[in-house]
Structure 1
Amino acid sequence: MTQASPPIGDLLAALHALPGVSVLVVGDAMVDRYVYGEVDRISPEAPVPVLRAGRETAVLGGAGNVVRNLAALGAAVRFVAAVGDDPAGEELQRLLAAEPRVSADLAIEHGRITTLKVRYVAGGQQLLRADRETAAPLAAAAADRLTQAALAGVAACSVVMLSDYGKGVLRPELLAAILQAAREAGRPVVVDPKGGDFGRYRGATLVTPNRRELAEASGMPVDGDDAIVAAARAILAATGIEALLVTRSQDGASLITADAVSHLPAEARDVWDVSGAGDTVAAVAAMVLGTGRGLETAARLANAAAGIVVGKAGTATVEPRELEALLRRADLLAGGDKIAHVDDAARIAAAWRADGLTVGFTNGCFDLLHPGHVSLLAAARSRCDRLIVGLNSDASTRRLKGETRPIQTETARALVLASMGSVDMVVVFDEDTPLALIEALRPDLLVKGADYSVDQVIGADLVRSWGGGVFLAPLSEGHSTTRLVRGMRG
């Protein structure tokens, strides 16, 4: 059975519910360091490039990259991990301290080498990666401390995320204890796996292997949709895992349960760097499950987030506005480049003004576009160089017009508006009024229909405060969305 895709409105609602989800992350923490430079000659000592090193950066890696992704999307994160008492361990602790939404409970083991991955980059290409690490299981004292911290965190979280890089933290005994505690507390568990024994994750809600890891764990071919489903279901039957979300690089991802399959196409426009994409998938899926939503919604949002992060260099994160913009574009066949998130729209509007162009703004639900709307938009566009339309979201329209509205989804309404020559940009907003949107966009001209007076126009005082004006456009008589809806319903 193939699962139907959740409506775009459901995905957006899930995205908006992510901030504040509490996530317990247990796993292998690392430091990812990048050394950037230039190469203009080959070494006379050996046939290797000579890197003239320049800028260096360091970010949280491994399970720490999961933490970064969670925090970037607004989660409250409790991170349980182990480090050594070495410079890399100290650097990791400094990086964690800089994350305001993260509380860390680290077991520090004397003599342990904290995993450090150093990547040397020139011309946008990675030349070499050098690793230092200890992959042995933790000593008894550190293991006991970590276990106590992890079990204490289960009841206090919405969802548990296990990030396994095979560096000695997630021992079988600890995995079994966390999975049992989560089951008793009713918490979903997401696992980013390592190694060929997925039986270690018995009872997990969702495990997120890539294609190579699936082949290793199942011992079966994975060269196509049917083969991937067969391999995944063999693992599900043997382990009691509820679902697998198999990431497939340029082929997208596949969500597989015992009785349903969803093959999700890749969302990436450009692939720059796939490092860390698995961390993003696991983090987003965990957060969605932490809101109480289902596997299909979790898989769709996670796949979309992966499409964004692979377009960035290094182990990167995804911002909510990027994910929202991608979701709003997803169902659009034309005019999609005109539909923008408020942050992007504000930046573009500022650039228009810097070029000497006047920016106009109008807003509404635009549920069933009729000649009155067309006339209003044409009149508005005639008074400015660029016209931005603020569009009430589905939720906002329901609050304003009642539970039977809108007739068309916000995606459909945005598409129709964006296809019009008189409209230069569409921004969907969730509030009941466009006041915050107007403040962000700072238009030169505010446009409403002539059935309003200037003192009734929301944002009029604000626009006039920075030297803008208000235009009341003449109405085309006899046209009303409410009248159309009443006529449709008899």
Structure 2
Amino acid sequence: MDIAELSELFDRVKGLNVLCVGDIVLDQFIYGDTNRVSREAPVPVLEERRRERMLGAAGNVVRNVRALGATPIPVALVGDDAEGQALLELIETEGVSRDHLIIEAGRRTAMKTRFVSGGHQMLCVDRDPLPGGESDTETRLIAAIEAAAGEADVAILSDYGRGLVSRRVSQALIAVCRAKGIPVCVDPRGRDYTRYDGATVIKPNALELSEECGHTVSTDDEALDGLACVMARLERTENLIVTRSALGMTALGCDGSWIHVRSRPRPVYDVSGAGDTALSMLSLALGAGSSLETAMRAADLAAGLVVTKVGTATVTADEVLAEERMRESGEASAKLRSRQSVAEAAARWKAMGLKVGFTNGCFDLIHPGHVSLLKQARAECDRLIVGLNSDSSVRRLKGPERPVNNEVSRAIVLGSLESVDQIVVFDEDTPADLIEAIKPDVYVKGADYTIDQLRPLGGEAVLRHGGRIHLAQLEDGHSTTAMIRRSRGVD
């Protein structure tokens, strides 16, 4: 995918509401050091340093959907125990609605506890859910699904085998979504995928597909054979997709068409949650109206990035876009960085006693006025970070015919200027959030602005963090708009 297509996709994703149905688990990580052996048994003793809790299983899908820019609507069962309360608090912390969660009296909330030392998992303890005494739980779940579907643009069914996704619940979800024209994407578990029949996509991994079809799924031909074997048992399912780790993804449609999407080689640090990221991005792309192949490519990009992180992580739209911008620009712009990267660099420079400056703009056609502004900005600081409006941001600000040069081309030209130390592309209409992350010592803009005008554009954050605003002298007679008009023979 090129950066323009990917950026446009994330623009469409921002407005989506995503129905997320499945088993939510409380994930607990206990971190510590192992420096001695127990006197009671020949086992290491973990000296606890800290513990973290997060949403796991279908809850990780909720986290991924939110991180990628859409709004999740979870439907799940939660116990009325302490662990259930912890889950509800985590959901609130994520800024996600609890309106369609079912709290079952007497239910034991599912939990997974991992003990970690030196970056390695020593032990994993599963606590499976136990149902409460309520006889109408399944009926309440279906009612919650039907209510939530009225708000949704796409649905994700995450079956983690913890008892929530019965055949009745699965078919009720698919029926209501098909009636409303809402795509349904399923992450299956166990044998017999007929309980998910009618979905838009069913997405097993290679091991799960192997277990369902009864043979190995290593080569392209074996993957297609396995998918065909399963598709033959399904009457209404539109597509089957198998995720194949470093080999990418393979899809088979109900009409016999197939697609292979290859993964780019990457360092792999942890595959935890990669399937959730792939499913989330795939579903969002389909919900945003993308073709299946485009959705698969976007899903592969997101999953490929998340495996470079440690732990059950998520990725943001900004991270995916930044990764692709850097890849597309190649070595021509080593200064192009992600938002997180420039924020970390700014903090590091400030810790070294260096003054960090920031300016921003579209920089569509670089002219002497731009060069002067950047030189003046660099003179006010030791390190200069430039915020560059994304293509979609420029279109919103300047109109559908702009930019003339795409964001990667603009970043490459900016990166060639000695006055610029790092570049970060931002998609918002103003750089306020970016400035809040960077916390520059000085914010530089042209003197065609006033300080009061710059306050809501990020200037307020600069002043609040002890920085200052500097208005640079303008070079008369230079304007990108005027250059474009002259090139078109318009006075």
Letter in 2 for 1:189: V
Letter in 2 for 1:246: V
Aligned to 2:242, which of 240, 246, 253?
A: 246
Tell me if structure 2 keeps the 8 A contact 1:35–1:57.
Answer: yes
Q: 2: CA distance between counterparts of 1:480 and 1:110?
A: 65
Tell me if structure 1 keeps the 8 A contact 2:261–2:297.
Answer: no
**Total equivalences in the alignment:** 480
Q: 1:409 to 1:480 in 2, by over 3 A?
A: closer
Specify the alignment match of 2:213 in structure 1: 218
Q: 1:372 to 1:157 in 2, by over 3 A?
A: closer
Residue 365 in 1 paired to residue 366 in 2? no
The worse-fitting range, judged by mean Cα deviation, of 438-447 and 147-156 is 438-447
Q: 1:314 to 1:484 in 2, by over 3 A?
A: closer
Specify the alignment match of 1:470 in structure 2: 471
Residue 56 in 1 paired to residue 51 in 2? yes
- Give the deviation of 1:162 after TM superposition: 0.7
Q: 1:216 to 1:137 in 2, by over 3 A?
A: farther
Q: 2: CA distance between counterparts of 1:360 and 1:316?
A: 31
Letter in 1 for 2:161: G
* C-alpha distance after superposition, 1:8-39 (max 9, x if no partner): 12322322443452222221222222222221
Residue 129 in 1 paired to residue 124 in 2? yes
Q: What secondary structure, in the 3-state scheme, does the structure 2 residue paired with 1:334 have?
A: helix
Aligned to 2:281, which of 278, 281, 284?
A: 284
Q: 1:362 to 1:32 in 2, by over 3 A?
A: closer
- Give the deviation of 1:445 after TM superposition: 6.2
Letter in 2 for 1:472: Q
Tell me if structure 2 keeps the 8 A contact 1:96–1:104.
Answer: no
The worse-fitting range, judged by mean Cα deviation, of 258-267 and 456-465 is 456-465
Tell me if structure 1 keeps the 8 A contact 2:357–2:383.
Answer: yes
Which consecutive unaligned segments of at least 5 residues does structure 2 have?
Answer: none
* C-alpha distance after superposition, 1:280-313 (max 9, x if no partner): 2222332333333343343333333323433444
Residue 28 in 1 paired to residue 23 in 2? yes
Q: 1:363 to 1:74 in 2, by over 3 A?
A: closer
Specify the alignment match of 1:194 in structure 2: 189
Q: 2: CA distance between counterparts of 1:437 and 1:336?
A: 20
Residue 185 in 1 paired to residue 180 in 2? yes
Q: 1:398 to 1:102 in 2, by over 3 A?
A: closer
Q: 1: CA distance between counterparts of 2:445 and 2:472?
A: 5
- Give the deviation of 1:319 after TM superposition: 3.6
- Give the deviation of 1:353 after TM superposition: 4.2
Letter in 1 for 2:395: R
Letter in 1 for 2:442: D
TM-score, with structure 2 as normaliser: 0.82
TM-score, with structure 1 as normaliser: 0.82
Tell me if structure 2 keeps the 8 A contact 1:25–1:77.
Answer: yes
Which consecutive unaligned segments of at least 5 residues does structure 1 have?
Answer: none
Tell me if structure 2 keeps the 8 A contact 1:367–1:481.
Answer: no
Tell me if structure 1 keeps the 8 A contact 2:76–2:102.
Answer: yes
Specify the alignment match of 1:101 in structure 2: 96
Tell me if structure 1 keeps the 8 A contact 2:386–2:424.
Answer: yes
| Pairing 1:135-150 to 2, within 5 Å after superposition | 140-150=135-145
Tell me if structure 1 keeps the 8 A contact 2:13–2:69.
Answer: yes
The worse-fitting range, judged by mean Cα deviation, of 402-411 and 197-206 is 402-411
Letter in 1 for 2:470: G
* C-alpha distance after superposition, 1:385-413 (max 9, x if no partner): 32333323223433555533333321222
Specify the alignment match of 1:261 in structure 2: 259
Q: 2: CA distance between counterparts of 1:224 and 1:105?
A: 42
Q: 1:108 to 1:443 in 2, by over 3 A?
A: closer
Specify the alignment match of 2:385 in structure 1: 388
- Give the deviation of 1:173 after TM superposition: 2.1
Q: 2: CA distance between counterparts of 1:479 and 1:56?
A: 55
Q: 1: CA distance between counterparts of 2:102 and 2:391?
A: 47
Q: 2: CA distance between counterparts of 1:399 and 1:21?
A: 19
Letter in 2 for 1:204: A
Q: 2: CA distance between counterparts of 1:54 and 1:429?
A: 37
Q: 1: CA distance between counterparts of 2:417 and 2:129?
A: 60
Q: 1:224 to 1:261 in 2, by over 3 A?
A: same
Tell me if structure 2 keeps the 8 A contact 1:83–1:106.
Answer: yes
Tell me if structure 2 keeps the 8 A contact 1:120–1:129.
Answer: yes
Q: 1: CA distance between counterparts of 2:475 and 2:272?
A: 55
Specify the alignment match of 2:315 in structure 1: 318
Aligned to 1:157, which of 152, 177, 187?
A: 152
Letter in 2 for 1:247: T
Q: 2: CA distance between counterparts of 1:92 and 1:455?
A: 47
Residue 428 in 1 paired to residue 429 in 2? no
Letter in 1 for 2:383: R
Residue 404 in 1 paired to residue 401 in 2? yes
- Give the deviation of 1:216 after TM superposition: 1.6
Specify the alignment match of 2:161 in structure 1: 166
Q: What secondary structure, in the 3-state scheme, does the structure 1 residue paired with 2:186 have?
A: strand
Tell me if structure 1 keeps the 8 A contact 2:105–2:134.
Answer: no
Tell me if structure 1 keeps the 8 A contact 2:6–2:321.
Answer: no
Q: What secondary structure, in the 3-state scheme, does the structure 2 residue paired with 1:331 have?
A: helix
Q: Indicate the RMSD between aligned Cα atoms, in angstroms.
A: 3.9
